[in-house]
Chain A
Amino acid sequence: GAGVSQSPRYKVAKRGQDVALRCDPISGHVSLFWYQQALGQGPEFLTYFQNEAQLDKSGLPSDRFFAERPEGSVSTLKIQRTQQEDSAVYLCASSFNSGLHSTDTQYFGPGTRLTVL
């Protein structure tokens, strides 16, 4: 498929475990975004990459959250020592352009539903 893909689709973790969530953006898309969506709410911004550079991480809720995109394509969101409040759907989005224009459309993946017990 040509869309954004994410894996795993579902992840159950025990409190205190580390998790890694993967995002494969649309091929050729320069910009990549991570959002967190709590149940019944709209997505909230976590972080943004332009190629391999992480240009904005203002939305990461704590230093337990870490994202990387080492080769400017696939990205991984890592959450260390998971807590129950981390339970949410984690959405990845990508856009084609370099981020110079506000109107670059962000295309979302299906998300990873994380449940922390």
Chain B
Amino acid sequence: GESVGLHLPTLSVQEGDNSIINCAYSNSASDYFIWYKQESGKGPQFIIDIRSNMDKRQGQRVTVLLNKTVKHLSLQIAATQPGDSAVYFCAEKAYQGAQKLVFGQGTRLTINP
């Protein structure tokens, strides 16, 4: 994805609702995808990952879905809590064995009480 500079897409949800954060990628050869959470003043924190040979993976309160046909990745957070407020980034590795992460556009998740 491309950065939109200072104007991050924003998602506001009610506490307790489910959140869905989307990410589009352009490289059909990308082998591996990761979601990171970044709180203000902190570095990105690993949430969940998925290989390109999978279409769904579940963690604790989080699910990642991968649709390779349309090159789309989503992160679902169940029962959103105030502590989930952060900027969420998807990242990819361009090919098997690639080391550097290529980050997509972030989404700011805000939780309303």
Contact = CB atoms under 8 A, between A and B. Distances in A.
Interface of A: 4, 31, 33, 35, 39-45, 48, 55-56, 59, 91, 93, 99-111
Given A33-B99, A39-B6, A108 B93 contact: no
B5 A56 contact: no
B43 A33 contact: no
A35 B102 CA distance: 10
22 contacts: A33-B100, A33-B101, A35-B101, A39-B6, A40-B3, A41-B3, A41-B5, A42-B104, A45-B100, A55-B99, A91-B43, A91-B44, A93-B43, A100-B97, A102-B32, A102-B96, A102-B97, A103-B32, A106-B46, A109-B43, A110-B41, A110-B43
Nearest to A55: B99
Contact of B44 (A45, A48, A99, A108): A108
- B-side interface size class: 20 to 34
A104 B34 CA distance: 11
B105 A42 contact: yes
B101 A45 contact: yes
A42 B106 contact: yes
Most buried by B among A42, A100, A108: A42
Nearest to A113: B41
A31 B99 contact: yes
Nearest to B3: A41
Nearest to B92: A102
A48 B41 contact: no
Contacts of A45: 100-102
B31 interface: yes
A52 to B, nearest CB: 16
Contacts of B96: 102
B27 interface: no
